[in-house]
Structure 1
Amino acid sequence: MSQSEPGPVGPEIDPRVILAAERTLLAWMRTGMALMGFGFVVARFGWFLREMAAVGNHPPEPGSGASLWIGTGLVGMGVWVLVGSTIRYRCYLGSLSRGDRALPGAGMGTAVALVLALLGVAMAAYLIVVGTGR
Structure 2
Amino acid sequence: MSDLDDPRVLFAAERTMLAWNRTSVVLITFGFMVERANILMTVLAPEQSDPVGSAMTFWLGIAFILLGAFSAAYSSRQYLVVLRTLTPSEFPSGYRVTWGLMVNVVVAVLGMALAMVLAFGR
Q: TM-score range by the shorter chain?
A: 0.5 to 0.7
Alpha-carbon deviation of 1:12? 7.8
What does the per-residue CA deviation read over 1:37-70, in whole Å, with 9 as the maximum and x for residues that have no partner?
000000000121123334xxx2513523211100
Tell me which structure has the larger Cα radius of gyration.
Answer: 1
Cα distance in 2 for partners of 1:77, 1:60 equals 27
Q: Residue 82 of structure 2 corresponds to which residue in structure 1?
A: 92
Residue pair 1:49, 1:64 contacting (<8 A) in 2 also: no
TM value normalised by structure 2: 0.62
SS at match of 1:65: helix
Correspondence for 1:60 among 49, 54, 68? 49
When normalised by structure 1's length, the TM-score is 0.57
**What is the aligned partner in structure 2 of residue 46 from structure 1?**
38
Structure 1 position 95, deviation (Å): 1.9
Q: Return 5+ residue gaps in structure 1 as ranges.
A: 1-10, 99-134
Structure 1, residues 47-103: CA drift from partner, whole Å, max 9, x if none?
21123334xxx25135232111000000000000000000110111012249xxxxx
Q: CA RMSD in A?
A: 2.0
Q: Which residue does 1:33 correspond to in 2?
A: 25
**Contact between 1:50 and 1:64, CA under 8 Å: does it hold in 2?**
no
Matches of 1:71 and 1:84, distance apart in 2: 20
Q: Out of 61, 64, 67, which is 1:77 matched to?
A: 67
Matched, 1:22 2:11: no
Instruction: Tell me, in whole angstroms, the C-alpha distance in 1 between the residues paired with 2:73 and 2:49.
Output: 37
Instruction: Return the alpha-carbon distance in structure 2 between the equivalents of residues 69 and 93 of structure 1.
Output: 36
Share of identical aligned residues, percent?
A: 35
What SS does the aligned partner of 1:13 have? coil
> What stretches of structure 1 move > 3 A for 4+ residues in a row?
none
Aligned length: 85
Question: Distance in 2 between the 1:13 and 1:21 partners?
Answer: 14
